[in-house]
Amino acid sequence: MNSLTFAWKRAAVSLVFLAGCGGSPAAPAPVTTITTPPSSPNRSSALVSVEDPFATVHNQGSSFGYGVHFLLRETSGVSGATIDRIVIYGPSGSDETGPGCWRTKLRVPAGGVLDTFYTDAGRQWLLYCSPGSGGTTASPRLEAEITFSDDRGVAGSLRIPITSLR
């Protein structure tokens, strides 16, 4: 038992003890219930996973473009996840995209899949706001960081390597 929990319980016992002393015997003392603050931080209800991540590598003369593709799946079935930001880390630094660049909010429904970042139709809809990066190597080391909010507004994130190149 931590010291904060002990202090709360001691205060509750003291209140009950004091309320029972010196009063009218006909009127019982009210009992106050005190709950301790939660011991764990508030965590996202949405559980988001990434499926089939890969990057397409396009030769652009003296450099290369890397288009990053992946499916997002919400696996808890309890809460959807609204995508807040995607950062691609590559050989030349990082590139970010998010709602300010997208036409509408992108959301993974509870227990469902979002394929916008995976399909050609989704990438055409996103245009230059698709996740990707660039660099000078045909075999880059890439990582994707996806930040989201569950239906209660609680943030979550995950970071994955992109090891499959096409």
Task: Specify the CATH number for the domain of residue 136.
Answer: 2.60.40.1470
Looking at the fold, whether 70 and 114 belong to one and the same domain comes out as: yes
- What is the reported pLDDT for 30? 43
Residue in 136, 153, 135, 156 with CA at minimum distance from that of residue 145: 156
SS (H, E, C) 28-74: CCCCCCCCCCCCCCCCCCCCEEEEEEEEEEEECCCCEEEEEEEEEEE
Q: What is the residue range of 24's domain?
A: 1-39
Which are the contacts of 17, defined by CB distance < 8 A and separation ≥ 6? none
Same domain, 95 and 31: no
CA gap 140, 165 in Å, rounded: 9
Which tokens go with 153?
């507004």
Q: Within this chain, do residues 32 and 99 fall inside the same structural domain, yes or no?
A: no
Task: Domain count for the chain, please give it.
Answer: 2
Instruction: Find the Cα–Cα–Cα–Cα dihedral 4, 10, 11, 15, rounded to 10°.
Output: 160
Do 142 and 73 sit in the same domain of this protein?
yes
Euclidean distance between CA atoms 48 and 19, whole angstroms: 51
Q: Is the same domain home to 1 and 67?
A: no
Average pLDDT, the chain: 82
The pLDDT tens digits of the residues spanning 43-80 come to 999 999 999 999 999 999 999 999 999 999 999 999 99
Condensed to tens digits (0 to 9), the pLDDT of residues 23-38 reads: 444 544 443 333 333 3
Quick one: average pLDDT of 97-121?
96
Residues 98 and 73 in one domain: yes
CA-to-CA distance for 50 and 73, rounded, in angstroms?
A: 6
Q: Judge whether residue 42 has pLDDT over 70.
A: no
Same domain, 88 and 158: yes
Residues 32, 4 within the same domain? yes
**Pair (30, 52) in one structural domain:** no
Are 32 and 52 found together in one domain?
no
Assess whether 6 and 72 both reside in one domain. no
